[in-house]
Each structure stands twice: as structure tokens, then as C-alpha cells.
Amino acid sequence: MTIRRAGLAAANALATLLLLSCAAAATPSTAGVPQLRVEVLGELPHDATAFTQGFEIADEVLYEGTGLGGRSQLRELDPQTGAVRRAAALPAPVFGEGITLVGDRIWQLTWRDGFAIEWDRASLTKLREVSYDGEGWGLCNDAGGRRLVMSDGTDRLQFRDPVSFAASGSVSVRMAGRPLTALNELECVDGHVWANVWRSDVVIEIDPDSGRVVSAHDLSELAELVQPDDPGDVLNGIAYDASDGTWLVTGKRWDRTFRLRLDGDTG
């Protein structure tokens, strides 16, 4: 099927409106949840056209999944300069979402297209598509590669097999005893799941066995530095760098990526 550029533009505009209307804009209350200090260590350039949906570092390579119909890609970046080394396009009008690495493969979600894409990591070529129900938002590789963790915009984290992508369970995420929805981009670190909460400047740390939020982190300073023009260009991209214990954090169509250290309990 041929997709006209005007049709894609209209579809992307509609998708943006849907994204802006699907969740409350209010920042969730972090009262009663331990908060870490946030230290900005530096910045590097980020492609301001990239609608970032997934961010992950492995073997000194930064991988990025981007969204919007007709513009979605899987990218390989230089984590020191932000330069795009390679990119593979998703077929229009597929809307790409979160990514994670499993050995020599990469899984990438789609938003409402109903399937995940498995890529060959070395060549960035598509190997297969695997169907799933519901929306796809964030994805990470937990428990030493024994399971994947997926978000779908609700309060639930789904667990999936890293080879077959079959669902194997789920857990409801609660902060101070209340369900927390709009869980978006994910990062699995040392048995816990980190998530940015969509349309807020909050990143949370979750115990995936209980669903309890064990810490929360206010990154509003970053958006203040970027000052995005579009309200849809929100924080969305958290990658842990195990080589030095720092984080790379960016947002949708942000012009820069920040290197951070999260350290210590502020109470």
C-alpha cells in the first residue's frame, strides 16, 4: 500500500493529539517515597528530530528506538558524542516504541500496531515480528536475560519470555499504596525496573516482584534546560551506563542528552 506524505503527516498529528489526551498531565505525588539526589555531569548532542521511545547502552554503544508513523527507526549512536552511526527504518506507518537488547538480538515494540520486532543486532536487519495484545510502550531486559519487562501505559508491568516474547505474568505498580499509570520507557538495573512516568518529569524505581515503587527522582531541571516548544516533547529515554554507574537521559525531540548521577537519599 502506498502512503502519501500528507497522510502520514495527518496520522502523526492525530497520534500526537491522542498521546496528549490519553493520560493526565499532573506529576504524580512522590510523598512518602525516598528520593535520590540528581547530579548533572554533562551534556551531549541529541538529534532534535528523534521522537525518542527507547534508550539502552551495551558494549559502549547507545541504542535508540524512535517513534511516529513513517519516521520510526532503530538507531545505533555513539554514547560519547550522540552521533548516529547506523539506522534502520520501520515500515510506514508503523509507530515504533521501546527497545531492549537480548544477546545478539534487539526487541522493539510498536505502539498500536500489535507486534514486536526482533532485530539482528550486528546488521540491524529485521528477523521476525511477534504479535501481542494491547499497546506497547517501554521494554527492558531483567533478571540476567531470563525475562523481559514491558509497559503498556497502564499501571501494569508485563513479563515476557526473551526468546518467544510470550507473556508469562504481570504485576501492578503502586506508589505510596496507589496504582501508578502511564509507565513509559523502562530500564532494568540490578533486579529493579526504572521507569519514566509519561508527561511528568519523574523517574521511578520499581521492585518488579511486588510492584512497589522504592524511590522516585525529580528530573524537572532537565526540561527547564531544554525548554521544548511542543508539550508532547517530554522526558522519555533513560539508559544506565554500567561502565561508570551513570545515566544518559533525554526526551522526545530534545536537542541534547544529559549524563546524570543519581546518588543518596534526600528523604
pLDDT digits (tens, 9 = 90+) for 215-236: 999 999 998 999 888 888 999 9
And the C-alpha cell for 194? 526504572
CATH 2.120.10.30 fits 32-265, yes or no: yes
Residue 28 has a pLDDT of 67
The whole-number average pLDDT for the span 197-201 is: 90
The whole-number average pLDDT for the span 136-159 is: 94
236 and 194 Cβ atoms separated by less than 8 Å:
no
Three-state SS sequence of 137-183: CCEEEEHHHCEEEEECCCCEEEEECCCCCCEEEEEECEECCEECCCE
Residue 79 has a pLDDT of 93
User: Rounded to whole angstroms, what are the CA distances from 1 to 4, 45, 179?
Assistant: 10, 36, 41
Residue 106 has a pLDDT of 98
Residue 229 has a pLDDT of 83
What are residue 103's DSSP bridge partners?
none
The whole-number average pLDDT for the span 176-200 is: 94
Residue 27 has a pLDDT of 60
Q: Reply yes or no on whether the pLDDT at 114 is more than 60.
A: yes
What is the distance between the alpha carbons of residues 255 and 267, in angstroms, rounded to a whole number?
32
The whole-number average pLDDT for the span 109-118 is: 98
Give the domain ranges of the chain: 32-265
What is the distance between the alpha carbons of residues 45 and 51, in angstroms, rounded to a whole number?
14
- E strand or H helix that includes residue 52: strand 52-58
pLDDT digits (tens, 9 = 90+) for 37-85: 889 999 999 999 999 999 999 999 999 999 999 999 999 999 999 999 9
Residue 30 has a pLDDT of 65
Residue 8 has a pLDDT of 45
Q: Reply yes or no on whether the pLDDT at 1 is more than 50.
A: no
Neighbours of 200 (CB within 10 A): 23
What is the distance between the alpha carbons of residues 30 and 77, in angstroms, rounded to a whole number?
33
The whole-number average pLDDT for the span 109-128 is: 98
Residue 37 has a pLDDT of 81
Contacting residues for 142 by C-beta, under 8 A, at least 6 apart: 148, 149, 159, 188, 191, 193, 208
What is the distance between the alpha carbons of residues 134 and 169, in angstroms, rounded to a whole number?
15
Reference 44, options 17, 89, 78; nearest CA is 78
Query: pLDDT higher for 264 or 236?
Result: 236
